[in-house]
Amino acid sequence: AQTVTQSQPEMSVQEAETVTLSCTYDTSENNYYLFWYKQPPSRQMILVIRQEAYKQQNATENRFSVNFQKAAKSFSLKISDSQLGDTAMYFCAFMSAGANSKLTFGKGITLSVRP
């Protein structure tokens, strides 16, 4: 079974600065997908970024980028130029490749952006 570990329960960052959220996972599979989801306070969970394991290039979505280290089974999220709206819980998640696979989530990290 796959496991996803987010060891930091909380982090805080000053507005406009950069912050990195850590995630490690354990799997014996070679093909899979990794995700970061964001859950703002009292709002719906949304997908932030996705990484395919077969791609060597790190995914980027505007101010959000990942550092995917397949050998180390590490998948960190970097948020550049942090904004107040980035305050949320962030969940790292793993999904095996193949039709109808399930997401396995980490425990989440609460990020607070200070004005």
Partner 1 sequence: DVKVTQSSRYLVKRTGEKVFLECVQDMDHENMFWYRQDPGLGLRLIYFSYDVKMKEKGDIPEGYSVSREKKERFSLILESASTNQTSMYLCASSAPGLANYEQYFGPGTRLTVT
- Nearest Cα neighbor of 5 from 58, 51, 72 is 72
Interface residue with partner 1, options 68, 91, 111, 113 (CB under 8 A): 91
Stretch that binds partner 1, among 14-22, 55-63, 75-83, 92-100 (CB under 8 A): 92-100
113 forms part of the interface with partner 1 (CB under 8 A): no
- Residues 6 or more apart whose Cβ sits within 8 Å of residue 90: 21, 36, 37, 38, 39, 48, 77, 108, 109, 111
Binding positions for partner 1, rule: CB under 8 A? 6, 9, 33, 35, 43-47, 50, 91, 95, 97-103, 105-108
